[in-house]
Structure 1
Amino acid sequence: MAENRQYLIELDQRNGDGDLGISMAEGYAAAAEALDKSDEKDLGKLMMASGKAFNEAAPSSLGTITSMGMMGMARTLRGNENADVALLAEAFEAGINRIMERAGSKPGEKTILDALYPAAKAMAAHAEEGLLPALEAASIAAEEGSESTANMKAVHGRAAYYGDKTIGLIDGGAEAGRLMFLALYKAAKK
């Protein structure tokens, strides 16, 4: 996220407060640092710790939403020291469900969910093919989902105040979701 900080700031300035790049870069940096400093083996506990670190470092609406998703994932991963692709996909879906429950939003409302939801479904559909194909499919689905937000009117957050003026603009949160799946795919390719 750090390399896309300025891009996300500029995207968010169109119909938000412009802090998206800052909060995402700082949140993901804090989550990574929490993982690096931990000796914990339980993936659920690791995800919970990284979600809490993310939330503390990114005190914004999307920071809170992202950390909610991470904490939702933690519940699925709890008790596991290893995860196959199917379990990872299940964890992503659990995180997305937590976001939808807590934020009261759903795909099609010009939010991060428009990237995350199709990505998680694609990952689950390609889980048996292995990690790299599943993440590639998820990354493509996240990109398509993010791009689709240009045709939507914002109904949540600060962007909702702009109403029809948000049509034609890609949602910053959806772009952050796209970038997350792209980063996961690139990391898996290494």
Structure 2
Amino acid sequence: MKISTKVECGIIALIDIAIHSENGEAVAVSSISKRQNISVKYLEQILVALRQTHLIRGIKGFKGGYVVARPANQISFQEIIDALDITILGDVDAGGADDTSLLKATIQESLWDKMTAYLRQFCTGITLQDMMDRYRRMRHLCTISDRCCCKQYLTADKTPGGGVGISAAFSFNQTASNQILDEPSDFYRKISEYFILKKMKQ
């Protein structure tokens, strides 16, 4: 699955803000940058999209920064992904409006439209709170386990107690994560297949 750096970093930044603003304090861009190893300049560009779609709001002042605009359990990943890149969950038009091929229309209706609907439905069912909880669970499991479910070495959070960097927590190794976590990875396989097919038809 090929996801742009903007989308990946946007999701990482939003989860970081949600986690570190739970106590009511605004999260500074510089703090996100240090924890997640993303440049301040790039983060500022990404956060504009999240702010314009009312997923986060800025707090001015000496201790200013960002907080989530709504409770995390009320923000779906469909909203987040659409805010960062509207084309990912958008409809796929294989033939164009002027294409009258019955075969292409059949493929469009039977394959692309259904895959897009499935993906949107899945992302609508996952909330920002769900991902925060999963990250915390992975951080705990990786802390107590000799094995790691991430592809890369885990980065230490610059927070009391340290832990696993959010960016590392998203780089799943499917075999290892299946051994450690009790959740199915069927979704990741389906999403990968979806984007492979979508890329092939472009």
TM-score by length of 2: 0.30
Which structure's CA Rg is the greater one? 2
Higher relative contact order (CA 8 A, sep 6+): 2
Normalised TM-score (structure 1): 0.31
